[in-house]
A = this chain, B = another copy of it.
Amino acid sequence: MLGDNIHFLLQPRSIAIVGVSTKPGKIGYLLLENILQGEYPGKVYPIHPSASEILGLKVYPSIHSVPEEIDAALISVPAKMVPQMAEECGKKGVKGLIVITSGFGEVGEHDLENQLMDIAHQYNMRVLGPNVVGILSNGDRLNASFIAPLPLPGKVSMISQSGALLAALNLASHSYRAGFEKLISVGNMADIDFADVIGWLNQDEGTHCIALYAEEIKDGKRFIEAAGKVSKPIIALKAGVSKHGAAAAASHTGSLAGTAKVYSAVFEKAGVIQATGLGNLFNRSLALSLQAPMKGDHLAIVTNGGGVGVLSADAAEHFGVPVQFMPEDLQEELRQFLPPFASTKNPVDLTGMAGPDWYLPSLRKTLSHPWVDGLVVLFTEGAGHDPVEIAKTIRRAVDESGVNNKPVTASFIGGDRSEKAMKWLVEHGIPAYNVPEEAIDALAGLHECAKLKKGMAFSGEIYSNGKTETALAIIQKARSENRTVLSEIEAHQVFASYQLPVAQMNLATSEEDAVKIAREINYPVAMKIVSPDILHKSDAGGVKVNIQDDVGVREAYHSVIENAKAYKPSARIQGVMIQEMAQSGLEIILGSVNDPAFGPAIMFGMGGIFVEVLRDVTFKIAPLTLEQSNQMLDEIRGAALLDGVRGEAPRDRQALAEVLFRYSSLVYDLAEEISESDANPAFVYEEGQGVRIVDARILLNSNK
């Protein structure tokens, strides 16, 4: 990218507005009006060829007539004039451009966009956009956009690829209880993209959580790297994760969205929480901006309504943080001041009579207990206690407990008083939701956040014993023969260069050769005709399996060659492949796809009907640490098969994890070369017996 100085663009000390308008309601007018209404403390220079004053501000006829330095220029002139204006900004020494104007790449005008970027590059200017709404920042009192007013203040900063959505969310921030510190529209991302803004927001004091609305992530590797370095929680809503959604997105943005599974793997790798919808993005980002991640699995629920407690326990299981009964000592503590008809199990049901005097000690003691990792407080409004009093009690209990590293969320069900109570809570740092399942989901988001951070903190050690040069030599040979599909034996050799346990094989070109190879491999063996002209080897009678001895090898050698010749007299025959007969075991499948944006992703699943019928597979972005390789084994629905079912012995998980570890390193190191690969089938044997890859397949990148 064009250097990394985006700071003065995103937090300018002075702004020029190129294309300011004298007509109220026009975008060029709104830009100036909004900056002034936002009470921006920096300097503002409206640029207009003829006007002398707009909205009480002195107007300059051109950018170079401005006497002082300009950090950022907001550009809102017709698309065709943008490059010229950019050039003038460049000459003036402007540090960054915020190009509001649309009509560039998003409508196919790629040349115009490239022209703009060439100029920016020439003058070392960073560009936000084109095709953006602008930047809105509560912390800087800066509304450099054509939408108003500034959002409800909050601790979430949102980066959006859709300007329309950003504008609507800005308005919605006031009606919902979810505020924003900054709203940043990234539009076409011709220069500044998610990775840049995420990285910059990491140092922004007012931002406690970064929320993304993404239709496409172009430079995936940079995204993963940038997000991985950020200490603040990041949550992303990716549009186009469904089959038809991806198709609709393609027609909307003109770009093909990656597959949902690859995106999920990317977000995991980057430590980014994935939102399931717009409401979920709102709910979870609020919690992520106000509360600490939930570091363990023990969720406590305190409620004044039994039914709502049960619903919350249901929701907790649904959202992946299932409730357990609380330890006896905590229950005993609670029993000391709660009436006998209250339940101390979890959910703690204080019953309908509970007021601040029961809530206060219950919450304080629950939160303080070392077993508890996170707390959801529920209140069902009735005729009795004032919800606002309960809200204040929650805040007080948290403060008195002195605990600030465990998350707390709340839900009040009721009328206006409950609304008021929840507003008070949010303003005092505790996320509160209209329905209990949203309070639970918010906590599940904080739980996921901690889990992802833990994953990020893995050693990061990658398998390093692969013989890359050996693999490259094999690949180069194929390339020299204009092939992008490696032969079976080549693929096996590439796999073997990373110490992957491929079934042994070798090409025999004579009967004696065949016997020699078979003896080396050990009996039994399989034999297959090798000919570039015979695709369906079985149909040609070119395959013999389970050959037990030298005599069998000699017989088979002649019969497969004769069969092949009879099948296709013109076929060029290169020899006969002698292959180890791998003993059958638990069938698995490994694979890799080289995503244009994110690089190689690794797939793992159970083989056979599991992959064919149930699509029971999981993806991760390469390379994997050994910990991640181990994690991957538990991510499929059929994971229990590895532990042994129906009386079978447990499988060699350790060896399998090691295989994934090595395989991920192979496809990562050779990302420039390998476009797709798989190991299908492979067999996992009993503990200590390892893994055997029966068939390996490698396709090369064809655009090299």
Contacts and interface: CB of A to CB of B under 8 A. Distances in A.
**How many chain copies?**
2
A638 B171 CA distance: 46
A614 to B, nearest CB: 6
A176 B434 contact: yes
A251 B646 contact: no
Interface in A537-589: none
Contact of A307 (B252, B325, B380, B640): B252
Interface in A155-173: 161-162, 164-165, 167-169, 171-172
Contacts of A381: 167-168, 171
B317 A164 contact: no
Contacts of A614: 614, 637-638
A646 B608 contact: yes
Nearest to A279: B435
A352 B164 contact: yes
A623 interface: no
Contacts of A624: none
A277 B436 CA distance: 8
Interface stretch (A71-79, A415-423, A695-703): A415-423
Nearest to A304: B164
Given A310-B240, A315-B277, A316-B242, A413 B324 contact: no
A214 B229 CA distance: 48
A437 B277 contact: yes
A333 to B, nearest CB: 18
Given A239-B314, A640-B613, A307 B165 contact: yes
Given A244-B316, A382-B147, A168 B416 contact: no
A57 interface: no
A239 B311 contact: yes
Contacts of A416: 171, 174-175
Most chain-B CB neighbours within 10 Å: which of A310, A608, A640?
A310
A383 B244 contact: no
B437 A278 contact: yes
B349 A244 contact: no
Contacts of A324: 244
Interface stretch (A37-45, A339-347, A472-480, A627-635): A339-347
A418 B172 contact: yes
A314 B164 contact: no
A663 interface: no
A341 B164 contact: no
Interface in A119-166: 146-147, 161-162, 164-165
A402 B349 CA distance: 52
B168 A380 contact: yes
B252 A349 contact: yes
A308 interface: yes
Given A307-B252, A314-B242, A172 B609 contact: no
Nearest to A638: B613
Contacts of A683: none
A172 B318 CA distance: 24
A11 interface: no
B645 A307 contact: no
A323 interface: yes
A81 interface: no
Interface in A239-279: 239-245, 247-249, 251-253, 276-279
Contacts of A645: 609, 612-613
Contacts of A436: 277-278
Contacts of A251: 343, 345
Interface in A195-238: 213, 215, 237
A323 B171 contact: no
B277 A435 contact: yes
A637 to B, nearest CB: 6
Contacts of A249: 310
A676 interface: no
Contact of A380 (B165, B237, B247): B165
Given A310-B245, A434-B279, A645-B609, A305 B164 contact: yes
A322 interface: yes
A609 to B, nearest CB: 6
A49 interface: no
Contact of A162 (B176, B278, B306, B437): B306
A641 B612 CA distance: 10
A608 B165 CA distance: 49
B245 A413 contact: no
A277 B311 contact: yes
A410 interface: no
Contacts of A347: 248
A310 B215 contact: yes
B637 A167 contact: no
A380 B163 CA distance: 11
B613 A164 contact: no
Nearest to A25: B383
A658 interface: no
A14 to B, nearest CB: 26
B383 A146 contact: yes
B419 A175 contact: yes
Contact of A253 (B164, B245, B306, B345): B306
A414 interface: yes
A107 interface: yes
In the complex, which of the residues A282, A306, A438 has the most CB atoms of chain B within 10 Å of its own CB atom? A306
* Max count, chain B CB within 10 A of own CB: residue among A167, A168, A383, A437: A168
Contact of A244 (B248, B306, B323, B343): B323
B242 A313 contact: yes
A646 B168 contact: no
A248 B313 contact: yes
Given A241-B314, A278-B436, 19 more contacts: A161-B307, A165-B308, A167-B380, A168-B382, A175-B414, A175-B415, A242-B322, A244-B313, A244-B324, A244-B325, A245-B323, A247-B325, A248-B313, A276-B437, A277-B436, A279-B434, A608-B646, A613-B641, A614-B637
29 contacts: A147-B382, A164-B307, A164-B352, A165-B413, A167-B381, A171-B381, A171-B418, A175-B415, A241-B314, A242-B317, A242-B318, A244-B316, A244-B317, A244-B324, A244-B325, A245-B323, A248-B309, A248-B323, A248-B346, A248-B347, A252-B306, A277-B311, A277-B435, A278-B308, A278-B435, A609-B638, A613-B637, A613-B645, A614-B638
The 8 residue pairs across chains A and B that have the minimum distance between CB atoms: A171-B415, A242-B317, A162-B307, A252-B306, A245-B313, A277-B437, A245-B314, A168-B413
